[in-house]
Amino acid sequence: MKFAPALLLAAAAATAQAQESAAMDHAAMDHTAMDHTAMGHGNTDASAMPTMMSGMLGPYPMAREASGTSWQPDATPMDGIHAMHGDWMTMVHGYANLVYDHQGGPRGDKQAFTESMFMAMAQRPLGDGTLGLRAMFSLDPTIGKRGYPLLFQTGETADGVHPLVDRQHPHDLFMELAATYSRRLDGDSAVFLYGGLPGEPALGPVTYMHRYSGQDNPEAPLTHHWLDSTHITFGVLTAGYVRGGVKLEASAFNGREPDQYRWNIETRRLDSASARLSWNPTPEWALQVSHGRLDSPEQLEPNVAVHRTTASASWQHAIDGRPMQTTLAWGRNRHDPGDSSDGYLLESTIEARPGTKVFGRFEQVDNGELFEEASPLHHRQFDVRKLSVGVVQDLFRAGDVAFSAGVLGSRHWAPATLDAFYGNDPSSYMVFFRARLAMK
């Protein structure tokens, strides 16, 4: 799998060429031609807005836009509540999960916790361009600084002294506070600026909680710190150029991961940089390659920089009319000074029937952070693999809120050297109840 980036792009390009041409009339999607008569002013469901309106960053379908400035397939179903308020088009989306988590083996643990996310977006024409505002919040800090149990997960710190091992850190209260401005050039091209405190730089695929292929899975991926851990970055400036289905962008940002104080906004200098090339060859595909240098990302290793390279392909399709998305992603972290490590992810979600989704995720990582400095196994890399499969079922609705319940089971495989610490191929499970904002 060392040739993963090339394989991802080649496979997707070959499939795209085999598909029927899906050319779109971008002129009809000009943000200056919003049909306010059809959509109405004030509060309205406006369920057709994502396909009728242009995105914040360019003259393409709004459904293409995902976390930060990343792209997902144009055909991705849009959840959330959309409305028009004068010249403003708004969207709100959010969920709260009540989870019982049981991680097996000697280093496992049990915990009940609540994780959540609320996101609001608004955009309007301004001068010759489009102004966009984004805000995202989470009450994850209520979980506690140590987060929740998750076997073989590492990254960040709980108290500023000890690293988190076999636990997933909680997200900060402020996940994104950002503004964008885009200006259309000619035809289907545009330029844009994005700034956030916090925000998400141009690095990696769509963040896992926003990918249709992974958003119903209540646990964070093991590959989070190889692919999309920069989705909460305290200080980001991004400039980009869009032409049709291609986007080229570059970011200057603060490379340090959030600290143990999850309720505040941090301010640091923009010491890191990244660039990303995205390509949506058809409405069903979204591909990206990206690279960035993160200056001193780990609070406990301030003299170590990380060069991160990622590549991913997401395919939105349907089976008998039921939506399904599959994402294949690869990430490499090269520590300076230090070793390189790789992470691979394959995940998929399908709506098996109305109101029922089945999801799965397979991952492989080279993890060298499972033991603290005092251990003779410190910084030794171990090949860890994990398979998770789950289902979530809608139960009932109350207005714009849908309630559902789900279950998830996972199995891990690791070298025999770790059996004394983790047991032989430990397993885990989660049971969860969810409330989410959703269109009717």
The full set of domain ranges for the chain reads 4-437
pLDDT (0 to 100) of residue 15: 41
What burial class does residue 18 get, using C-beta atoms within 10 Å of its C-beta: 0-12 exposed, 13-18 middle, 19+ buried? exposed
Residue where the block lists tokens 């076997």: 151
Q: Return d(Cα 40, Cα 84) in angstroms, integer.
A: 7
Q: Return d(Cα 153, Cα 341) in angstroms, integer.
A: 14
Rg (CA), the chain: 21
pLDDT (0 to 100) of residue 440: 65
Q: What's the number of CA atoms in the CB half-sphere (13 Å) around residue 163?
A: 22
- Copy the structure tokens of residue 313: 């392909």
Q: Tell me the residue ranges of DSSP E strands in 104-147.
A: 110-126, 129-137
pLDDT (0 to 100) of residue 439: 76
pLDDT digit string (tens) for the chain, length 440 residues? 443 444 344 444 444 443 433 333 333 334 333 333 333 333 434 444 454 578 999 999 999 999 999 999 999 998 889 999 999 999 999 999 999 999 999 999 999 999 999 999 999 999 999 999 999 999 999 999 899 999 999 998 888 888 999 999 999 999 999 999 999 999 899 999 999 999 999 999 999 999 999 999 999 999 999 999 999 999 999 999 999 999 999 999 999 999 999 999 999 999 999 999 999 999 999 999 999 999 999 999 999 999 999 999 999 999 999 999 999 999 999 999 999 999 999 999 999 999 999 999 999 999 999 998 889 998 899 999 999 999 999 999 999 999 999 999 999 999 999 999 999 999 999 999 999 998 76
**Under 8 Å between Cβ of 260 and 158:** yes
The structural architecture, per CATH, of the domain 4-437 is Beta Barrel (2.40)
**Under 8 Å between Cβ of 155 and 225:** yes
Q: Return d(Cα 138, Cα 263) in angstroms, integer.
A: 10
